[in-house]
Homo-oligomer: A and B are copies of this chain.
Amino acid sequence: MTDISPLARPFPALPEIAGVTPRVARAQYKTWDRCDLTYVELAEGTSVAGVFTRNVCCSTEVELGRESAAGGSARALVVNAGNSNAFTGFRGREAVDQIRDQVAAHLGCGASEVFVSSTGVIGVPLPRDKAQAGVAAALSAQPCTWEQAAETIGTTDTFAKGASASAIIGGTRVQLAAIIKGSGMIAPDMATMLGYIFTDAAITPALLQQMLSAANKRSFSCITVDSDTSTSDTVLAFATGKAGNPLLASMDDAGADAFQAALDDICTRLAHLVVRDGEGAQKFIEIEVTGAVSDESARRIGLSIANSPLVKTAIAGEDANWGRVVMAVGKAGEPADRDKLAIRFADKWVAQAGLAVDSYDEAPVAAHLKGQDIRLGVDLGLGDGRATVWTCDLTHGYISINADYRS
- Cα distance A400–B54 in the bound complex, in angstroms: 33
In chain A, positions 323-345 with a C-beta closer than 8 Å to chain B are: 323-324, 326-331, 335-339, 341
- Say whether A229 faces chain B, with CB atoms less than 8 Å apart: yes
Q: Given the complex, which residues of B lie within 8 Å of A331, measured CB to CB?
A: 54-55, 187, 228-229
- Cα distance A327–B317 in the bound complex, in angstroms: 29
Q: Tell me whether B399 and A330 are in contact (CB under 8 A).
A: no
Q: Tell me whether A226 and B309 are in contact (CB under 8 A).
A: yes
Q: Tell me whether A57 and B329 are in contact (CB under 8 A).
A: yes
- Cα distance A330–B228 in the bound complex, in angstroms: 10
Interface segment among A69-77, A157-165, A350-358: the answer is A350-358
- Cα distance A86–B396 in the bound complex, in angstroms: 29
- Say whether A398 faces chain B, with CB atoms less than 8 Å apart: yes
Closest CB-CB distance, A34 to chain B, in whole Å? 22
- Cα distance A10–B90 in the bound complex, in angstroms: 51
Q: Given the complex, which residues of B lie within 8 Å of A86, measured CB to CB?
A: 323, 326
Number of interface residues of A (CB under 8 A): 69
- Say whether A349 faces chain B, with CB atoms less than 8 Å apart: no
- Say whether A43 faces chain B, with CB atoms less than 8 Å apart: no
In chain A, positions 309-330 with a C-beta closer than 8 Å to chain B are: 309-310, 313-314, 316-317, 319, 321-324, 326-330
- Say whether A6 faces chain B, with CB atoms less than 8 Å apart: no
Partner of A316, one of B226, B354, B395, B403: B403
- Cα distance A231–B336 in the bound complex, in angstroms: 13
Q: Given the complex, which residues of B lie within 8 Å of A329, measured CB to CB?
A: 56-57
Partner of A338, one of B57, B91, B321: B57
- Say whether A227 faces chain B, with CB atoms less than 8 Å apart: yes
- Say whether A202 faces chain B, with CB atoms less than 8 Å apart: no
Closest CB-CB distance, A50 to chain B, in whole Å? 18
In chain A, positions 352-395 with a C-beta closer than 8 Å to chain B are: 353-356, 394-395
Q: Tell me whether A330 and B404 are in contact (CB under 8 A).
A: no
Partner of A356, one of B123, B229, B327, B398: B123
Question: Contact string, A18-40, partner B, CB cutoff 8 A, digits 1/0?
Answer: 00000000000000000000000
Q: Given the complex, which residues of B lie within 8 Å of A314, measured CB to CB?
A: 402-403, 405-406
Q: Given the complex, which residues of B lie within 8 Å of A354, measured CB to CB?
A: 87, 89
Q: Tell me whether A227 and B229 are in contact (CB under 8 A).
A: no
Q: Given the complex, which residues of B lie within 8 Å of A54, measured CB to CB?
A: 331
- Given contacts A123-B322, A228-B331, A407-B319, whether A398 and B313 have CB atoms under 8 Å apart is yes
- Say whether A213 faces chain B, with CB atoms less than 8 Å apart: no
Q: Given the complex, which residues of B lie within 8 Å of A226, measured CB to CB?
A: 309-310
- Cα distance A327–B356 in the bound complex, in angstroms: 40
- Given contacts A310-B185, A405-B321, whether A91 and B327 have CB atoms under 8 Å apart is no
Partner of A330, one of B227, B231, B405, B406: B231
Closest CB-CB distance, A381 to chain B, in whole Å? 13
- Cα distance A132–B56 in the bound complex, in angstroms: 56
- Say whether A199 faces chain B, with CB atoms less than 8 Å apart: no
Q: Tell me whether B327 and A231 are in contact (CB under 8 A).
A: yes
What are 18 A-B pairs at a CB distance below 8 A?
A54-B331, A56-B336, A87-B354, A87-B355, A122-B323, A123-B323, A124-B356, A125-B355, A228-B310, A229-B331, A231-B323, A309-B309, A309-B398, A313-B402, A314-B403, A317-B405, A319-B406, A398-B399
Known A-B contacts: A56-B330, A57-B336, A395-B399. Give 9 more (CB < 8 A).
Answer: A56-B335, A56-B337, A87-B338, A122-B324, A187-B331, A227-B309, A231-B323, A231-B327, A310-B402
